[in-house]
Amino acid sequence: MSYNLEKVNAISDGDKDFIEAVVVAFIEEIPEDLTKFEHEVQTENYKGIYQVSHKIKPNLDLLGMQEAYEENLQILSWSKAETNMNAIAETFESIQQKINQTIIELKKEFNIA
């Protein structure tokens, strides 16, 4: 499993509706962020990459996506320093795959079409 809902469970006090709302929000909002992220990488816009990377950071943390979170921190560092565009592109692809896999798994676990 590419995610861990411990943090969501901790802040929910066992409220299953809240947990599902967090999951649904992630599933609905993150693809748009990924599209913007991909555009910024393709246009080699360091500032844009930094902004989108920073925006998705709390979602990756909240959903316990540790590997993607760590990769995203690296992108934040590179984009802030305006360096390593090839590494940013490769790392973004890895994050994108992990997020897309997590969306599939979450939809399955929470019975979301």
Each residue of 25-40: pLDDT tens digit? 999 999 999 999 999 9
What sign for the dihedral angle of Cα 33, 35, 36, 37? Answer: positive
Residue 46, pLDDT above cutoff 90: yes
Q: Region 62-81: what's the mean pLDDT?
A: 98
CATH 1.20.120, applies to 6-109: yes
Distance from C-alpha of 29 to C-alpha of 33, rounded to nearest angstrom: 7
> Is the pTM value of this prediction over 0.85?
yes
Distances in Å between the alpha carbon of 57 and those of 14, 22, 64, 106?
24, 15, 11, 18
